[in-house]
Chain A
Amino acid sequence: MSRIAETATVSLALADYASTDISGKTHIIGQGVAVIGWNPEMGVTSRFALIIDVRLPIEFSGAEFPLEIALLDEAGELALVPGPSGMQPLRVAQVVQGVADIPRLGQKVADHTGVHINVIFDLGTGVPLALHGLYTWRVQLDGDESRQWLHNFAVTGPPPGPVFG
């Protein structure tokens, strides 16, 4: 339905930490995480980051479109997290715009490399998710629900201690 969603190459990854520097490079530590730890004292996951890498053909340089991120539960429904107004879905969109630096790169190189949008979703203090929960990050581009990119992960904690008596 959307040419942007139709032609996009999107990859998702989880890591312990990620950030983007001023030059646009992404710095990642511990990529490849599929199981997130859980802090029993705080009731939140350990810190983690979602890395979203979007590549588009050069024809979309300068195009603005919404990138939507949603957290799904095991049943594929929107996962709810506690907030000030009660339980609410962790779902948000942000308008992104990929711009190829054609004057610097030259048209031939820009045509070849295309448009690159790198989004880091760094949840530095964890998220109040359920222990032993199975979750999925879902990404949609340009409002097109017919194309979705998914990344599964789980939340685990320390095994329960022995029971005496």
Chain B
Amino acid sequence: MPLEREETMRNVKVIYHREPEGWWAESPDVAGYTAADDAFGELRSLVFDGLPFVLNVEADDLRISEQLADGAPIADAPTGGVAGWLRSIGVVTPGSFALPSGSVSSALAAS
């Protein structure tokens, strides 16, 4: 990523909480921000659509790092997926965390 672009990126952490009736999200970097939904996938869409609006930034200028409330980071394709996360903690995994294309999203398969 070009340096200029890197400098304009805003990093925001989002924490997902599981409740008996569904999910909700908060961000320690965005005071007062919460979102909720019955399903995790729908909540995630709300977060990715809503945070750029709340912060008044372009979605491309926002880097959202996600984690579950128990502290588990969510490894996604842009950060190299689980393989990328393992590399970041020093575990090298040449063919790690392969997911079948066709039965999971392509973004995950790319990781």
| Contact of A68 with B by CB under 8 A | yes
A 5-26 binary contact with B (CB < 8 Å = 1; else 0): 0000000000000111111111
A84 touches B89 (CB 8 A): yes
User: Which residues of chain A from 1 to 59 have any CB-CB distance to chain B below 8 Å in the complex?
Assistant: 1-2, 18-26
Q: Helix, strand, loop or mixed for chain A's interface?
A: strand
**Shortest distance in angstroms between A53's beta carbon and chain B's nearest beta carbon?**
11
Q: Is A150 an interface residue (CB 8 A)?
A: no
Q: Which residues of B contact A (CB under 8 A)?
A: 16, 18, 20, 23, 39-41, 44, 67-76, 81-82, 85-86, 88-105, 108, 111
Give the residue name and chain of the A residue nearest to B83 (CB): A122
Query: 18 extra interchain contacts, Cβ-Cβ under 8 A, other than A83-B88, A83-B89, A94-B108?
Result: A2-B18, A22-B101, A64-B40, A82-B90, A84-B88, A92-B74, A92-B85, A94-B75, A99-B102, A99-B104, A115-B103, A120-B98, A122-B94, A122-B96, A124-B96, A125-B91, A128-B90, A144-B18
Cβ contacts under 8 Å, A63 to chain B: 39, 41
A142 touches B44 (CB 8 A): no
A108-132, CB < 8 A from B = 115-125, 127-128
